[in-house]
Amino acid sequence: MTDNIENIRLQEQKIRKANTLFFDLDGTLIDTDYANFLSYKKAIEQIKNLQLNVVIKPTNRITRKTIRTFSPDLSGEEYDKIIEIKESLYRFHLHATKLNRTVASMLDKYSDKKIILVTNSRQERADLLLNHFNLIDKFSQKYYRENMTSDNKFQHVLSALRIDASLVFVFENDESEIDAAVTAGIPSENILRVV
């Protein structure tokens, strides 16, 4: 968290110059890794009748892409069922999520700017998290996985809103998404790498 405070302090001038702020959700605004782990763990155990004694490291994140590493022999039907069960269990693990208070404070500090949620999360789960932390009304607009017509979430939002990429500042934790932001035309110096 100390790194985030220092990074924000170094970026203050660029944040003030931007007229639009893009915030990612998972891993940036809210640490959801442990809640994801608990939800996926229970879902995999139910479907595969396995007891997963996986040690979670802060750098590990279980996603739709990584669940096959726990059970490589998953059929397509089992995979779909795990995703469905995980989504239904997620609400029971909200206690395992943690607000990044430093990043969240930017929502109030720069409330005079256009603040947009840009996430690959599904709307139902994202809204569940935003409501849990009383952040749902902090955004002028929200873009979720279901809204995306492009694999590059930043490109989609820039195009949909006809925003000049040079006037956007991004809060993001995922290196591949940071690369996507740069590919979409957002200057790398206008991106805060949240750690």
Q: Does domain 2-31+97-193 have CATH number 3.30.420.40?
A: no
Per-residue model confidence (pLDDT) at position 54: 55
Phi, psi of 75 (to 5 degrees): -80, 165
Reported residue count of the chain is: 195
Q: With a threshold of 0.75, does the pTM exceed it?
A: yes
Q: Partners of 22 in the beta sheet?
A: 116, 170
- pLDDT for the residue numbered 41: 83
169-185 pLDDT, tens digit each: 999 999 999 999 999 99
d(CA 112, CA 126): 23
What are the tens digits of pLDDT across the range 37-69?
Answer: 888 888 888 887 766 665 445 456 777 778 777
Indicate the domain borders of the chain: 2-31+97-193, 33-95
Token pair listed for 145: 């996985």
Between the CA of residue 188 and those of 8, 92, 153, 165, what are the distances in Å? Answer: 14, 37, 16, 11
Average pLDDT, the chain: 89
- Cα gap 117→162, rounded to integer Å: 16
pLDDT reading at 106 higher than 50 = yes
DSSP codes, 130-175? HHHTT-GGG-SEEE-GGG-SSS-HHHHHHHHHT--GGGEEEEE--H
Q: What's the pLDDT at 167?
A: 96
Residue with tokens 């279980």: 62
At residue 58, the pLDDT reads: 45
